[in-house]
A and B are shown apart, each in its own frame.
Chain A
Amino acid sequence: DAGVTQSPTHLIKTRGQQVTLRCSPKSGHDTVSWYQQALGQGPQFIFQYYEEEERQRGNFPDRFSGHQFPNYSSELNVNALLLGDSALYLCASSIPGTETQYFGPGTRLLVL
């Protein structure tokens, strides 16, 4: 049973560019959450998707947007990249009614 997978593993972009990160949830999971983790910090909640809708959002600007597909996979899009967007982006999947989240390995984004 494959766990949560994310692609790409690493990415380098320049300021002002746009980036798309991808996540495939654990088999049987239909809920996907995205987190941003800066170096030395805990993960910060960006948003959660369920049934192809954004169910809840953290304190992130509209430059951060997402999508969930019918197969439950998800994308995180970030527009107009800033240096401060450099971080590890984590995807976590879960099943409604359960509290346990399963995290992917993350995508390390560096903005130059």
Chain B
Amino acid sequence: SQKIEQNSEALNIQEGKTATLTCNYTNYSPAYLQWYRQDPGRGPVFLLLIRENEKEKRKERLKVTFDTTLKQSLFHITASQPADSATYLCALDRGSGTYKYIFGTGTRLKVLA
């Protein structure tokens, strides 16, 4: 069956370090993958999208990689700050002809001052 896995354990890192979050998927062939940030009690906020033919995408301190062979995406936050503390969700499209996004369970990141 189709599955998306994100590390359910919270990730604690020191301020200034690089946070790396993982999104693995099985039995999908997504055309693109998205990362969202979600704060407690709020809706997800779109951060980055990477397509299947792109290896890497950057936006300010954020970097996303997409390895369709490994079926994995890595999400990096460099020079992390306490304000980066949140839950980060990855989402995949179901492929052409569908409009449904499948979300992972999210990884909670805590940046310690």
Cβ distance A38 to chain B, nearest Cβ, rounded Å? 10
Q: How large is the interface on B (under 10, 10 to 19, 20 to 34, 35 or more residues)?
A: 20 to 34
CB pair A103–B100 under 8 Å, yes or no, is no
Number of A residues with CB within 8 Å of any CB on chain B:
27
Q: Could you say which of B32, B98, B100 contacts A99, with CB atoms under 8 Å apart? A: B32
CB pair B43–A106 under 8 Å, yes or no, is yes
Which residues of the other chain, A, contact B104 by a CB distance below 8 angstroms? 42
Q: How many A-B residue pairs have CB under 8 A?
A: 56
Q: Is B34 an interface residue (CB 8 A)?
A: yes
CB pair A99–B49 under 8 Å, yes or no, is yes
Residue in B closest to A90 when the chains form the complex, CB atoms: B43
- CB contact list, A2-25 vs B, under 8 A: 4
Which residues of the other chain, A, contact B45 by a CB distance below 8 angstroms? 103
Q: Is A63 an interface residue (CB 8 A)?
A: no
Residue in A closest to B6 when the chains form the complex, CB atoms: A42
- CB contact list, B33-65 vs A, under 8 A: 34, 36, 41-46, 49
Q: Is A104 an interface residue (CB 8 A)?
A: yes
Cβ distance A78 to chain B, nearest Cβ, rounded Å? 19
Q: Is B93 an interface residue (CB 8 A)?
A: yes
Q: A101-B46, A103-B44, A105-B42 are in contact. Are A55 and B99 (CB under 8 A)?
A: yes
CB pair A4–B43 under 8 Å, yes or no, is yes
Residue in B closest to A55 when the chains form the complex, CB atoms: B99
A50 to B42, CA, bound (A): 24
Q: Is B28 an interface residue (CB 8 A)?
A: no
Q: Is B111 an interface residue (CB 8 A)?
A: no
- Chain B residues with CB under 8 Å of chain A are 4, 6, 32, 34, 36, 41-46, 49, 89, 91, 93, 98-106
- Chain A residues with CB under 8 Å of chain B are 4, 31, 33, 35, 40-45, 48, 50, 55-56, 58, 88, 90, 92, 99-106, 108
Give 5 closest A-B pairs by Cβ, nearest first. Answer: A103-B43, A42-B103, A56-B99, A42-B105, A43-B103
